[in-house]
Amino acid sequence: MAAENYLLSIFMVQEEGLAVTNANLVHQLKRTPASEGLGTSPPSVAGMLKRMSADSLITIGEKREIRLTSKGKTFAERIVRRHRLAERMVVDLLGLDLSKAHVEAHRLEHAISDVLEERMREALGNPVTCPFGHPIPGSGYKAPSSASMPISQAPVDTAMVVERIPEEDQELLEYLVASGIVPGAALEITEVAPYRGVLTVRVGGRAAGRTAALGLEVSERVRVRNAD
């Protein structure tokens, strides 16, 4: 189970477009729910990476960058796919609040068999993204025609649509959901205040929208696209 969480974390770091260094991996591992019981001390991480390398799941380059092998990528995509299908299941079929889906999916992902995965996929209507907007590996996902961008790069007073949000930081996720900043929501930036380190957005349209403030670091991780 620990190796699966490492594969999931490595995949997610790569998905963010970052190099999988020890520092970036540990940062991602620390976002894993406490119920997973992952150790993130240097000896724990070094020991797990050594075992994963011995199992031909990863390679570690001269600059200590961690890369998935072909075998590792296959296993990583499988655990990510099951995790995101589990998120879809608990939200779409069981009606669980979106802010709780990531934690519950972590509990379920390790017990999903090939047969159950296929039945889940069919029952959910072959989804291509998780409820947070992230692609499901192997689903044939195609990005929307409008290029996505972090909110921080979006123009002010321009109608946008939320495409994806980060799911691993539980407190942040609860704030985003409570603010209505979820995939598919209409949104526009009303003010950027770099000197205060925040930007203000209106969610839900000008007529009945509500405002929310996002730190600039967070705004780099919430992706939007132009409204069609």
Euclidean distance between the first and final Cα of the chain, in Å? Answer: 42
State the average pLDDT for the chain: 90
The token duo for 175 is 């704030």
Stretch 2-26: mean pLDDT, rounded? 90
Domain 149-226, what fold? SH3 type barrels. (2.30.30)
- pLDDT at 179 > cutoff 90: yes
Please state which of the ranges 90-99, 159-168, 208-217 shows the lowest mean pLDDT. Answer: 208-217
CATH class of the 2-74 domain in this structure: mainly alpha
- pLDDT at 74 > cutoff 90: yes
Domain boundaries, the chain: 2-74, 149-226
Strand pairing category for 160-164 and 149-150: unpaired
Question: What pLDDT was estimated at residue 195?
Answer: 81
Q: Which residue has the higher pLDDT, 213 or 40?
A: 213
Output DSSP code: residue 155: P
Q: Model's pTM, two decimal places?
A: 0.89
Question: What pLDDT was estimated at residue 29?
Answer: 87
Phi–psi pair at 51, nearest 5 degrees: -65, -40
Question: What pLDDT was estimated at residue 114?
Answer: 94
The token duo for 181 is 């900043």
Cα pseudo-dihedral 158, 150, 129, 132, rounded to 10:
-90
